[in-house]
Chain A
């Protein structure tokens, strides 16, 4: 079964495919620049506790994304 969740709920070292980014054009553009866009596989590297930022790897790029932004990125978890 495939699970659908926002980025903050993915665990460390888990992979997911980006399925939906909810936000304006500016937000989508910003993520795109760091290689995070629909259909891309990303790995969650780290999530800082207490609603801290999430670190993901997309290809060879790592990015730190604020918690609120991470909540708006939905991935399909890969088993």
Chain B
């Protein structure tokens, strides 16, 4: 099968075009570095079936980072290159095009963001460009799909370019091409451009960032709470529970009944797989996941995150990181697994380790946050908020220490800032669905399994055994009831579930804060651990885990004295 590579600078819309060509949905965002691994899909071009590969973005063939190295290596195996250009940055993008021409692989050129150029006063003569380069040149607007069909119909015409130049004169050659194909007229700043300046200048940008962060937090909370209180909780309690209890009642008392619906009719304390096992993922967690990713997707596609990275750069330098590390940290508010994958955008192993520690310790993932909010709000906003405040202090302190003890320097920020773009609702909803699907397919079964395990352990008396074993150290060091030891034991399976296990205990507010901090910090969940091992090696994954465990113990002893 013919191998077609989608190649281009970062953030030119390769992933959107990939989705258009293959029908395979992939996550795309408006900032460089969203695609860190290549994705494959199939396309039928005429009679021929082709394999399409979405290659991570590169600026040149002289790779400067790991992701770029991978991309450059992949070029060797391609039969056809579709070079995707950002029409609004034709000159800069042609640099890679000319480098690709030297590879002598059949090629075609796609000019993306064709709809945007007229707004900024640029006109490009695509036909002339095609004449000069000697390969098909097709304008498209990937987000709406305009021009994609025409582009596909010309893939067959891809050929090795006969355009000749010496590498030394590359920029001169580009200058000549631009001269012949592009006209720029002066246009006033658009509203989005003015908004961009406002949000990246310190005087206006810092208050704007604070406001945006506050609004994001409130929007996620209100939307999440709204869905729970108005929709999911009433449905679960008034419609679902009576039916389930009735059906389970028919099985008679005993083991099976307890396994299905638990011992008490109170849903969060029962630990039946049909009650708590479904209540946690669908009623408590899902609404928050939905609202968080809706808001995050908007920020991603609008293009705000790189600007936040610029404003946060100073603070991050104190931790041994540069501002772009804020992107993995923000992704980590949702789920740690994709966050750790995105750490690849950083260059050195030192940065990767510090960034991973920061994203793991600074805040819980969204399912865990949902559980902390849902249980913590019974004690009041102060209790819930103090857990998050403690986590931030601990993670910052932890990274400052790592920055001191780990050898090496902090590289400087160097990143392209994409223009603001108004996101398309359909694109946002599609991305939201991809992420929700991930949660439903991967997380929900494990939560249900975990609740089942708790149930069986409880019935077999294993929980009681561990409780006895851990009671003394837990009580003396942390001031927590010994039963929590068994909760901690299951925490590595899924951390949100471990917090749910706190529900049956009547903890005081201070105890809940301690237990919440402990369960959020002490270990990464299983999926996170394996992702770390894959990305950074087993040694680093183990080291990070031991570091977290040690930091948590220290914090817990301090908290026990203070609270």
Contacts and interface: CB of A to CB of B under 8 A. Distances in A.
What is the size category of the interface that chain A forms with chain B? 20 to 34
Contact of A61 (B62, B412, B416): B416
Contacts of B62: 29
B561 to A, nearest CB: 36
Nearest to A38: B171
Interface centre among B196, B414, B416, by most chain A C-beta atoms within 10 angstroms, is: B414
B89 interface: yes
Contacts of A29: 60, 62, 64
Interface-centre pick from B60, B122, B201, B309 (highest chain A CB count, 10 A): B201
Interface stretch (B22-30, B101-109, B310-318, B368-376): B310-318
A33 B122 CA distance: 21
Contacts of B413: 53, 64-66
A67 B60 CA distance: 24
Nearest to B96: A33
A68 B323 CA distance: 14
Nearest to B10: A33
B509 interface: no
B310 A51 contact: no
26 contacts: A32-B171, A34-B59, A45-B201, A46-B205, A48-B310, A48-B314, A50-B314, A51-B314, A52-B310, A53-B313, A55-B417, A59-B89, A62-B196, A62-B416, A62-B418, A63-B414, A63-B415, A63-B417, A64-B310, A64-B313, A65-B412, A65-B414, A66-B322, A66-B414, A68-B412, A69-B412
Given A29-B60, A60-B120, A67 B412 contact: yes
A60 to B, nearest CB: 5
A30 B64 contact: yes
Interface of A is mostly: mixed
Nearest to A63: B416
A40 B262 CA distance: 71
B60 to A, nearest CB: 6
Interface of A: 12, 26, 29-30, 32-35, 37, 45-53, 55, 59-69
Contacts of A55: 200, 310, 417
A63 B11 CA distance: 13
A60 B193 CA distance: 11
Contact of A35 (B91, B120, B412): B91
Contacts of A64: 306, 309-310, 313, 323, 413-415, 417
Given A34-B416, A47-B202, A66-B411, 4 more contacts: A33-B59, A34-B92, A35-B91, A53-B412
A29 B68 CA distance: 14
B95 interface: yes
B93 to A, nearest CB: 10
Interface in B385-417: 411-417
Q: Which of A26, A33, A64 has the most CB of B within 10 A?
A: A64
B201 A59 contact: no
